């Protein structure tokens, strides 16, 4: 069996030449289109990287500004409430009414601090302790001494006190 000689016929030669040239032109067209689309995507990625870098810089500035503002606000915070708790209420043999009255009087003593800057109150914390601890509270012929166990200071001034009956000689 013999293979027919296609290379001698002009029709076949043109067909195969067109097939090769078409393949080459199609490959070149594909490369050009692919290159253009990749160039477009690279430009988009670079512009997005620039936007991200700018946003990160502005975020750092905003965070720094917020931290600065928070520090300034924290310095300007004011006492809004005074709360007094008796830490030895269950061990104290005084009547509940006396405990309540001592609590109210301590709250009245600290009431002038409402509206004051927290920084100012913190600076005078030792003076506040001494003012309360050196005072004797007299309720229905009973004298009570108060000792401040804990003092928590933020927008709410919270005092934990220890009440002890004062023995009179």
Residue 64 included in any domain: yes
Residue 126 included in any domain: yes
Residue 1 included in any domain: no
Q: Are residues 65 and 36 part of one domain? A: yes
Residue 62 included in any domain: yes
Tens-digit pLDDT profile for residues 42-96: 999 999 999 999 999 999 999 999 999 888 877 678 888 999 999 888 888 878 8
Number of domains composing the chain: 2
Tens-digit pLDDT profile for residues 128-140: 999 999 999 888 8
Domain range enclosing 60: 6-75
pTM of the model: 0.56
Q: Are residues 159 and 92 part of one domain? A: yes
Q: Which residues of 15-52 are buried (b: 16+ CB within 10 A; e: fewer)?
A: eeeeeeeeeeeeeeeeeeeeeeeeeeeeeeeeeeeeee
What are the tokens at 76?
Answer: 């300007």
Q: Are residues 88 and 157 part of one domain? A: yes
- Rg for the chain, CA atoms, rounded: 43
């Amino acid at each position: 069996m013999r293979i027919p000689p296609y290379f001698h016929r002009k029709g076949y030669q043109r067909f195969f030449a067109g097939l090769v040239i078409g393949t080459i032109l199609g490959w070149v067209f594909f490369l050009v289109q692919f290159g253009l689309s990749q160039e477009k995507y690279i430009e988009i990625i670079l512009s997005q990287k620039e936007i991200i870098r700018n946003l990160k810089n502005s975020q750092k500035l905003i965070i720094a500004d917020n931290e600065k503002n928070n520090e300034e606000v924290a310095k300007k915070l004011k006492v809004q409430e005074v709360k007094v708790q008796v830490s030895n209420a269950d061990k104290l043999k005084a009547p509940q009414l006396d405990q309540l009255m001592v609590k109210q009087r301590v709250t009245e003593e600290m009431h002038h601090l409402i509206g004051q800057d927290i920084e100012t109150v913190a600076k005078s914390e030792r003076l506040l302790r001494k003012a309360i601890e050196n005072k004797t509270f007299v309720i229905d012929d009973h004298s009570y001494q108060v000792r401040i166990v804990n003092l928590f200071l933020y927008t709410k001034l919270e005092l934990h006190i220890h009440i002890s009956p004062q023995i009179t000689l």
